[in-house]
Amino acid sequence: MKKNSLIRILFFLIVYVTLSAIATYYFSIDKRERTKLYLAQQIEKLYSEYQATKYAYRMLANFFYDELSHDTKFLQLLVSWQKDSKVGKEIERFLSQKFRLLQKYEINYLTIYDPSGNIVASMHKMAPLKRKKSKLFEKKETTNELVIEFKKPFYFQRNMVGIYKAAISYNVFKNRLAKLFKGYYEYIINGTLINKKVFSYGNYLFVQSDLHKDFYYEQSSKSLQNSRQKELIHRINSTIKEKIASSLAKRKNFAILTKIDDTYYTVSFLAIKGKEHIGYLISYKPDSNTAIFESIFLQNVILSNIIIAIVLLFIYYVLETRNRFEMMAVTDKLTKLYNRYKFYSIAEQEIQRAKRNKRPFAIIMFDIDKFKLINDTYGHDIGDLVLKEISQIIRKNIRRYDYAFRWGGEEFIILAPETDIKNAMKLAEKIRKLIENHSFEEVGKVTISLGVTQFDPENEDNIDAAIKRADNALYLSKKEGRNRVTLAV
């Protein structure tokens, strides 16, 4: 019985571990999907921030363009420039005051072209004018991939008289994002563009990115960060560097989560594309939602384990209770041996097995000699103790697949499967001697008388005849002086 309980406990532990693992796996998938969706939202958010800020700069550039395109004096100057390039100085003076307004909002690049593509005025941070022929309208148009450009034509009396081009650098753009959306932003440039020299404004100094050897920062980008921010971003980059290498190579949008000093950060990468991949706009933002996802995951795992444990404990309790009631129904309360009802159930099973295997089994019946005298002399409590001790001796000295029963009163039966009469007699004699040599509390020495028989599967169909033979043999043991084993004839 104890062994069965241990097996049942082990089974329930295995079921618990299995269900717990399944639940944990399911909730880990749920957390992963939540995180995946959340990262996709962060990419969309960065894209929206990028588009909104770009739209605001476009509106500002268009406002300046609209003002110029409705200024007759300026348009006439453009017409005059086509006849006399010296008018360019006057155009620059005309634009300089207005250009300061653009500079105030960090649009630091302004160029005016004539319809043929010649530079009329170049207002790059008030840089000196360099008149040169631009290949603006050729197939290989010269553009600066490191800036965001806004370009429109000027018309006067239905004739095109010039081209307006304003631009903002990505470094300025990402600093504006930081001010507007309260995060850390960075911009890394594809190294192939630097090798191709696809920039045309100002002087550029590039530093290799700490994210990947194929990407670079503009030097001005790094100098605009304070040392604490620079250190934090470097630590984040060092943490995610290996994880994002393959994603960077795909030139597509992606986002990743990382943890620095117990704080989660969402790092979103927005691929910037022109004629080819330019680089990435990167957003670094402290993140509280990931901690919530972790908390939800842990809560779900803990709650599911509690529910699984409660359900399994309830099932175990029901089974144990049912088993206990079943055992009570088939077990003698005093001796804890099987009772007569259980004997017939087991005997039927053994009969079927004996017939299949064509192997006999033995029945040993015995009772306690002069048990009534023990009760009368010492009282029923002592008599009960004698019954208990004899039961313990039987349990300890029969084989694990033998069965012991309290038949009634002081009578007992042992059913020994696949045992012939010779081995049954040895077992009976062993038990007789053990009880004879045992010292019982208060009573001292106690003896038993035994009757032994064998069930013959080839000639018998039920157990009653075998019980009768064993009982008769027991009676002979009593008649011939007790404390002996008698084989049924």
Of 238, 246, 240, the C-alpha closest to 214 is 246
Contacts of 33 (CB under 8 A, 6+ apart): none
- 207 conformational bin, left if phi > 0, alpha if psi -120 to 50, beta if neither: beta
Instruction: Write the secondary structure of 301-340 as one string of H (helix), E (strand) and C (coil).
Output: HHHHHHHHHHHHHHHHHHHHHHHHHHHHHHECCCCCCECH
Give CA–CA dist 43/46, Å, rounded. 5
Of 186, 189, 111, 125, the C-alpha closest to 154 is 111
Contacts of 245 (CB under 8 A, 6+ apart): 212
Give CA–CA dist 173/454, Å, rounded. 101
Helices (H), 70-151: 72-81, 87-104
The answer to whether the CB of 361 falls within 8 A of the CB of 419 is: yes
The answer to whether the CB of 453 falls within 8 A of the CB of 362 is: yes
Coil, helix or strand at residue 264: strand
Coil, helix or strand at residue 408: strand
Give CA–CA dist 279/188, Å, rounded. 5
The answer to whether the CB of 394 falls within 8 A of the CB of 412 is: yes
Of 39, 52, 55, 53, the C-alpha closest to 253 is 39
Catalytic residue among 106, 320, 410, 458: 410
Give CA–CA dist 351/343, Å, rounded. 12
CA dist 131 → 78, 118, 155 (Å): 15, 7, 22
Helix (H) or strand (E) holding 234: helix 227-249
The answer to whether the CB of 107 falls within 8 A of the CB of 148 is: no
Give CA–CA dist 333/408, Å, rounded. 12
CA dist 451 → 335, 374, 434, 480 (Å): 21, 22, 16, 12
Coil, helix or strand at residue 431: helix
231 is catalytic: no
Residue in the block written with tokens 């190579």 = 249
User: Which residues belong to the active site?
Assistant: 410
